[in-house]
């Protein structure tokens, strides 16, 4: 095992998740890669100390088993990054109950369970850090994104509540809320002229974020011991959500 921290990352297979794995593994941390398939990052080759676990965020049993397995193999868990998420767009008046509940199950119930399961391991270590990957949609009225926006607003509330409850155990929580981020999953859509025009009009910095921006900010939060930084939401959206 490396001399770095042991970090559990959910949704580690692609997109922001695999970018987090790559950045943090490069910095010498041991990474527990939690994903539905349990095979680790699928969209890039990553060297480092990676431990792969099957973890469907809708399956409580898999969540429990993944954290227990990581703790047993790595010896401890220092950091949890709740990155796994599901996005479903549609007209709110036509949104099926099952679809709404599926988004909430993956985006807020799963992260809550992950926080609950990692807590005893962090208590045993004398503290730890939980970074929840939220979204700037938590403070927008984004059409056709009701379930997703509700789930990300709930992530902010989860972060604040647990930060207060667990502060005496030296467990800190941060809600990292990106705006639009370029990934392999949305690359084609982001090349459309209409979307490019929208980006240039709405984002003061003029472009969507790169995955490595999210990863490098996350790595900074992991590296620095900042006891007073807890319960906060950090937006990284190029100023879009404050642009009137």
Q: Give 174-220 pLDDT, tens digit per residue.
A: 999 999 999 877 778 788 899 899 999 999 999 999 999 999 999 99
Main-chain dihedrals φ then ψ at residue 98, nearest 5 degrees: -65, -40
List helix spans (H) across 86-229.
97-104, 110-125, 146-166, 193-202, 211-223
Structural domains in the chain, CATH included, are 6-239 (3.40.50.720)
Write the DSSP string, 45-112.
Answer: ---SEEEEEE--TT-HHHHHHHHHHHHHHHS---EEEE---------GGG--HHHHHHHHIIIIIHHH
The per-residue pLDDT for range 163-182, each reduced to its tens digit, is: 999 999 999 999 999 999 99
Q: How far is CA 119 from CA 60, 124, 128, 173, in A?
A: 15, 9, 8, 11
Q: Which of 148, 166, 180, 235 is catalytic?
A: 148
Q: Is the pLDDT of residue 2 over 60?
A: no
Using an 8 Å Cβ cutoff, are 29 and 35 in contact?
Answer: no
Residue 31 CB partners (closer than 8 Å, separation 6+): 7, 9, 12, 21, 24, 25, 48, 49, 50, 51
* Per-residue confidence band for 3, with pLDDT thresholds at 50, 70 and 90: low
pLDDT in tens, 44-90: 999 999 999 999 999 999 999 999 999 999 999 999 999 999 999 99
Q: Which two tokens stand for residue 149?
A: 């926006």
The pTM assigned to this predicted structure is: 0.95
148 flagged as catalytic: yes
pLDDT in tens, 221-234: 999 999 999 999 99
pLDDT of the residue at 191: 82
């Amino acid at each position: 095992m490396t001399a770095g921290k042991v970090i559990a990352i959910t949704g580690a297979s692609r997109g922001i998740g695999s970018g987090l794995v790559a950045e943090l593994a490069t910095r010498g941390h041991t990474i527990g890669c939690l994903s539905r398939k349990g095979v680790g990052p699928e969209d890039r080759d990553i060297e480092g100390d990676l431990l792969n676990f099957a973890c469907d965020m809708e399956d409580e049993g898999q969540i429990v088993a993944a954290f227990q397995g990581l703790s047993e193999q790595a010896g401890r868990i220092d950091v949890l990054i709740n990155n796994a998420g599901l996005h479903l767009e549609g007209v709110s008046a036509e949104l099926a109950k099952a679809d709404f509940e599926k988004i909430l199950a993956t985006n807020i119930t799963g992260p809550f369970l992950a926080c609950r399961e990692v807590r005893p391991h962090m208590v045993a270590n004398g503290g730890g850090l939980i970074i929840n990957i939220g979204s700037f949609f938590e403070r927008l009225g984004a059409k056709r994104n009701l379930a997703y926006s509700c789930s990300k607003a709930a992530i902010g509330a989860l972060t604040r509540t647990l930060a207060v409850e667990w502060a005496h155990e030296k467990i800190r929580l941060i809600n990292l809320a990106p705006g639009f981020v370029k990934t392999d999953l949305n690359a084609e859509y982001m090349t459309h002229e209409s979307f490019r025009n929208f980006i240039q009009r709405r984002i003061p910095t003029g472009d969507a974020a790169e995955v490595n921006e999210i990863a490098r900010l996350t790595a900074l939060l992991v590296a620095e011991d900042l006891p007073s930084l807890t319960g906060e939401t950090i937006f990284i959206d190029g100023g879009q959500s404050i642009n009137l």
